[in-house]
Structure 1
Amino acid sequence: MSTTIYKVDASPPARAVLMVADLLGIKYNACDINPLLREQDTPDMTKKNPMRTVPFIEEDGFCLGDSHAIILYLFDKYGKPEHSYLYPTDKRKRATINQRLFFDCGILFPYLRSVMAPTYTGRLTELSKSIVRNIEDGYRMLDAYLSDSMYLADDVMTLADLSVITTMSTLHGLLPIDSTKYPKLMNWFINMSEKEICKKINQPGADQHVAGLKAFMENNKTNQKSKL
């Protein structure tokens, strides 16, 4: 059975899947898709992944989208006892990890998407006050989640941290974390960023993503000025 991961390295959700796959020792085929060129919109890709999002995986006809669902599936299928720290069997710890994953999916990443969508469509030239307020509120909540543990759901890194660090790496590149306002979040971010898995997979893609967004904003600014 072969696993194919459809991805682009700049995508935060794709980076989460790639890091989990690497930690679990999964042998997979990587297939790059360029969302800006809408390569995920072909009839074949749409049939496999109606959400038309990146990443998604395919295994012998089984297709699954959404990075949060994917990393849980990969853990359930390929996780070994030595990987149990990523998603422990304790029901309350799992519930906490799930909540943090839902937070990333339902709140934090949409804050980032509110930057990405208008930037890639030529409308956004800089972060608006409302965008900044939303991102800051996300930072506030994450800082609060870190009040009782070193990581987001436990005192060791879990799937929640691997998912959230990808979103945060792009957000931090656009709106740096204020360490005086969010010291626990800053400490967590530094700690996660220093992990070899993040250096290997997350940071290169994050750098690419941030640079791309900033370049698009500058280009949008130039284009809008030229129309005045």
Structure 2
Amino acid sequence: MSPVVKPLALSALLFSLSGCGGGERIAGVELTLGLTTARARAVPEGASARTLLTNEGERVTLAGALFTLGSVELVPCETTGWRRLWRELSPVGTAWAHSTSNALRLGTPHVVALGDTDGEVAPLGVMRPPPGRYCRARLTFEPADSDAEGLTSAMQGSRPVDMVGLSLHVRGTHGDVARDFEVETRGRYSVDVTLDGLELTEDAPRAARVFTLAWDSWLDGMGPGESPRDVDLLGNIARSASLQSPAVP
């Protein structure tokens, strides 16, 4: 019969493991995050800067787009052996349950406008997670609250929009006769973006990652003569997210 580990012995074991990188935070570990936009497809013939063709062949020109990124959460790579045991038993893993932001979650909502050009990086903030390998980032798009970053800018644009309570606001024209449209939603959608095994250690404590949204896929699902209101706009925005090559925001 295998020996039974007594509670005191188990506690001593976990305490010793905690000094070996089992989830402790180290001063100076930082992950800087940013967000930008880009085209994912060829520019349609005779297109303006914000003209796209949907995957169903409808021509759309965006006159304005605002969306709310509510949070970014780091998802650690799967662990095995004693590291998994430590993560499951350690109180560190449950201390953040009722926090808006914590070591693995950047919870400051940002209202982001689709600008006139691509490539400019909007800073999202700096996270200070424990050292470790992180395989994914969970981006959640949701309604803005009254403390969201970017609310003032949205109200000061050429077409003021009050984004409190909104996940997105998109307007523009579509079709051969350039029919006007304006769509708002209060939904919520999360998507996981691969981080390609981001690793933060004592020897390499700082990193930066930029997420890219492919805006010319946001109206996918809309065919000629159909309404943008029937499109899963928020889901399309979330699914357009990918990781840009590492760069400092």
Q: TM-score interval w.r.t. the shorter chain? A: under 0.3
TM-score normalised according to structure 2 size: 0.21
TM-score w.r.t. length of structure 1: 0.22
Higher relative contact order (CA 8 A, sep 6+): 2
Structure with the higher helix share, 1 or 2: 1
The answer to which structure has the higher strand fraction is 2
Structure with bigger gyration radius = 2
